[in-house]
Amino acid sequence: MEFINLKAQYNALKPMIDKMLEEIMTDARFIGGKEVGELENKLAQFVGRKYCVSCANGTDALMLAFLAYGVGEGDAVFCPDMTFIASIEPACMLGATPIFCDIDRETYNIDPVCLENAIEKTIAEGKLNPKAVVMVDFLGNPADVEEITRICSKYGLVLIEDAAQGIGAVYKGKRCGSFGDISTTSFFPSKPLGCYGDGGAVFTDSEEIAKLLSSLKTHGKGSSKYDNVRIGMNSRLDTVQAGVLLAKMTVLEKEMDKRQIIAQRYNEALKDVLEVPKIEENCKSAYAQYVLLAESCEQRDGIIKALKNNDIPSLIYYPKEMHKMDVFEAYNNENFPNATKYAQCNFGIPFSPYLTDKEQEKVIETILNYFQKEG
């Protein structure tokens, strides 16, 4: 059984993807082909933003967002304690100081109360300039957009939505990837919208920021790539990846519907024995991962072992909080109980729009059997 069945997805979309790739190979426009612009237009329209600027990966997308808003030394950037390091790493590389905040006990997204407390504390200490908040749609579940937007306006902070896991998710009628001052995503193969290599994109409603992003991703270009007005990066989405993504976008909504059905089935079957994902009202998760919480680390490890004995893959997503990482040694003694509980008890089970009924039944049965035996 595949954890995320990208092989089945390719089989289902093979005629469309192969045709797209053949055209690109024949044209030999591997960089900057027309598919890149087409994709940017489609993506902007899909999430509901005016501009989409594609780039090489989701980490670069965040780097470009931080650069566009001038994040640097002396700045404090707030982010959830439970995320992938790429949410904050580029800000650190630019010299900013990360400030971690605990997550909500049930949604696993940044807790607005913890965020506001952290901002107040930073202001009171007076050493750093509170600059930006990175709001992550963790596991594909939309963050608490309204509260976090309110807090950012109150304190004059730049709000960045890291929607690497959230493409296809919906918050109160609006798609993820459209929130905050600027939003970013990743097309890493296993993400809800993934390509066949690396890729990423930045979304904005500001023409000025869109122009700046285009320059920053192209060696700080002025009127052309050979007329440079600032120090930038080389961060491109190649034509092949754009082609794959254009093909996949034609089924994205159908896949999202399928994700809801499969998640619902898992929820119903497992809610009495494990903590199932909590999605706020009027929201839809993209279910980048379907993650359950056991009541203890021992129970979690026991279930993972039972799954493994039945050839069912699982993944701890993620095993360590940001503040516990060696790279953030100065934060190791901080205390974020919800993020810690999550790290110790979470595990993801096989999930994709291509999971078959039979596979899903086997996963459910194996977990329920574990509880019957171990109580």
Residues that bind ligand PLP (CB under 6 A): 57-59, 83-84, 86-87, 136, 162, 164-165, 186, 188, 198, 200
- Nearer to ligand PLP among residue 286 and residue 306 (C-beta): 286
- Nearer to ligand PLP among residue 9 and residue 87 (C-beta): 87
Q: Is residue 48 within 8 Å of residue 168, measured between CB atoms?
A: no
The sign one gets for the Cα dihedral 71, 73, 78, 79 is positive
* Amino acid in the structure at residue 68: A
- Nearer to ligand PLP among residue 58 and residue 112 (C-beta): 58
| Cα atoms found within 13 Å of the Cα of residue 189, Cβ hemisphere only | 9
Helical residues (DSSP H) of the chain, grouped into ranges: 6-27, 34-47, 58-68, 89-93, 112-125, 145-155, 207-217, 239-249, 252-270, 297-309, 337-345, 357-374
Distance CA 193, CA 345 (A): 27
Q: Do β-strands 129-136 and 75-80 pair in parallel, antiparallel, or remain unpaired? A: parallel
Q: Is residue 33 within 8 Å of residue 40, measured between CB atoms?
A: no
Residue nearest to ligand PLP (CB): 58
Q: Is residue 283 within 8 Å of residue 106, measured between CB atoms?
A: no
- Nearer to ligand PLP among residue 6 and residue 364 (C-beta): 6
Question: Minimum distance between the CB of residue 241 and ligand PLP, rounded to whole angstroms?
Answer: 11
- Nearer to ligand PLP among residue 194 and residue 243 (C-beta): 194
Residues with Cβ within 8 Å of residue 39, at least 6 apart in sequence: 52, 54, 237, 242, 245, 246, 249
- Nearer to ligand PLP among residue 64 and residue 303 (C-beta): 64
Distance of CA 350 to the CA centre of its chain: 18
- Nearer to ligand PLP among residue 177 and residue 200 (C-beta): 200
Question: Minimum distance between the CB of residue 331 and ligand PLP, rounded to whole angstroms?
Answer: 19
Question: Minimum distance between the CB of residue 269 and ligand PLP, rounded to whole angstroms?
Answer: 27
CA distances from 79 to 118, 132, 302 (A): 10, 9, 31
What is the total residue count of the chain? 375
Q: Which of 181, 232, 163, 138 is nearest to 51 (CA)?
A: 181
- Nearer to ligand PLP among residue 178 and residue 299 (C-beta): 178
- Nearer to ligand PLP among residue 162 and residue 306 (C-beta): 162
Question: Minimum distance between the CB of residue 366 and ligand PLP, rounded to whole angstroms?
Answer: 27
Question: Minimum distance between the CB of residue 96 and ligand PLP, rounded to whole angstroms?
Answer: 16
Question: Minimum distance between the CB of residue 9 and ligand PLP, rounded to whole angstroms?
Answer: 18
Question: Minimum distance between the CB of residue 86 and ligand PLP, rounded to whole angstroms?
Answer: 4
* Amino acid in the structure at residue 189: P
Question: Minimum distance between the CB of residue 136 and ligand PLP, rounded to whole angstroms?
Answer: 5
Question: Minimum distance between the CB of residue 221 and ligand PLP, rounded to whole angstroms?
Answer: 23
| Cα atoms found within 13 Å of the Cα of residue 252, Cβ hemisphere only | 23
* Amino acid in the structure at residue 271: K
Question: Minimum distance between the CB of residue 135 and ligand PLP, rounded to whole angstroms?
Answer: 10
- Nearer to ligand PLP among residue 186 and residue 285 (C-beta): 186
| Cα atoms found within 13 Å of the Cα of residue 125, Cβ hemisphere only | 13
Distance CA 270, CA 266 (A): 6
